[in-house]
Amino acid sequence: MDNDLRLQYLEAMGIDVWLTRTSTHSEPSLLSEVVNDSAEPETAALADRWDALQAEVANCTKCALCTTRTQTVFGSGNKQADWMLIGEAPGQHEDERGLPFVGNAGLLLTEMLRAIGLNREEVFITNILKCRPPNNRDPRADEAESCNVYLQRQQKLIQPKIILAIGRIAAQTLLKTDEPLSRLRGKIHTFNNTPVVVVYHPAYLLRSLTEKRKAWQDLIYAVQIMKENKG
Ligand code: URA
């Protein structure tokens, strides 16, 4: 996305964008590594479990999406993150690059995170589905079911303090409900005892800037829940 356009979106959302004096409006750096080699040492056993899980996902043939994908999209970010973000499924760019949220919606997501003081490297971002559905159609129930075990294992390994379900489909699938997004927002849900907050999908915001204020409210709500949980 053009940088000026991106700034316009953020401004429309009421999000202040801070630039350093020397900034040349460069594109925010998207995460390029699945692994965050942070200062926190991982135990060898934990690293082995991550490696095993990642290899399993990469070789998964549990549903027909394995025949149409370019590659799997495991997820990226901090493997000990407090914040776990779960979207719906990889799109074309994600399928090509093997990383989640790297298209236009991803750029806006990066900016939304930045607006609440987070960068992509400190959260973990993944999707309900690890493979792109053809033509970006909605995930099917059997596909989500096949992938669910991977999501659960990721959550167990990360032990996040909060999960953001990004958009209606991710929220409905994760929470096993048909309730509309309007009824899911602004409440705490749980997934395996981890609090879940439902937020608007940035792709939706790119189409409908009239929902901008609500999107910002969702993020503020998530920050508030996180603060409360930290005690
Ligand atoms: N939309 C999603 O839900 N996930 C991605 O990874 C990209 C776009």
Answer whether residue 141 shows pLDDT above 60. Answer: yes
pLDDT higher than 50, residue 33 = no
pLDDT in tens, 45-58: 999 999 999 999 99
91 CA → ligand 1 middle, Å: 6
Q: Is 139 in the pocket of ligand 1 (CB under 6 A)?
A: no
Domain segments of the chain: what residues?
3-36+44-230
Q: What is the pTM of this model?
A: 0.84
The rounded Å distance from CA 154 to ligand 1 centre is 17
d(CA 219, CA 59): 35
The CATH code for residues 3-36+44-230 is: 3.40.470.10
91 lines ligand 1 (CB under 6 A): yes
Tokens of residue 69, six digits: 């994908």
CB 132 within 8 A of CB 91: yes
| Centroid of ligand 1 to alpha carbon of 38 (angstroms) | 25
- How large is the average pLDDT for residues 9-29? 49
Considering only residues 164 and 20, tell me which one the structure prediction assigns the higher pLDDT. 164
**Contact between 150 and 218 (Cβ < 8 Å):** no
Task: Categorize the per-residue pLDDT at 31 as very low, low, confident or very high, splitting at 50, 70 and 90.
Answer: very low
Residue 88, ligand 1, Cβ within 6 A: yes
User: Does any ligand 1 atom lie closer than 6 A to the CB of residue 160?
Assistant: no
Residue (of 129, 128, 136, 146) closest to 196 by Cα position: 128
- The mean predicted confidence, pLDDT, of the chain is 88
- Residue in 73, 85, 88 to alter for ligand 1 test, most ligand atoms within 8 A of Cβ: 88
Per residue in 62-115, pLDDT (tens digit) is 999 999 999 999 999 999 999 999 999 999 999 999 999 999 999 999 999 999
Q: Closest residue (by CA) to atom 8 of ligand 1?
A: 101
Check if 90 has its Cβ closer than 6 Å to any atom of ligand 1. yes
Strand 194-199 vs strand 189-191: parallel, antiparallel, or unpaired? antiparallel
Q: How much distance in Å is there from the Cα of 42 to the middle of ligand 1?
A: 28
d(CA 45, ligand 1 centre) in Å:
30
pLDDT given for residue 29 in this prediction = 38
pLDDT higher than threshold 90 for residue 167: yes
- Which of these ranges, 18-27, 147-156, 179-188, has the smallest mean pLDDT? 18-27
Best mutation site among 127, 131, 200, 206 for ligand 1 pocket (most ligand atoms within 8 Å of CB): 127
Residue among 120, 146, 159, 127 at smallest CA distance from 42? 159
Which tens digit of pLDDT belongs to each residue from 174-231? 999 999 999 999 999 999 999 999 999 999 988 887 888 889 999 999 999 999 987 6
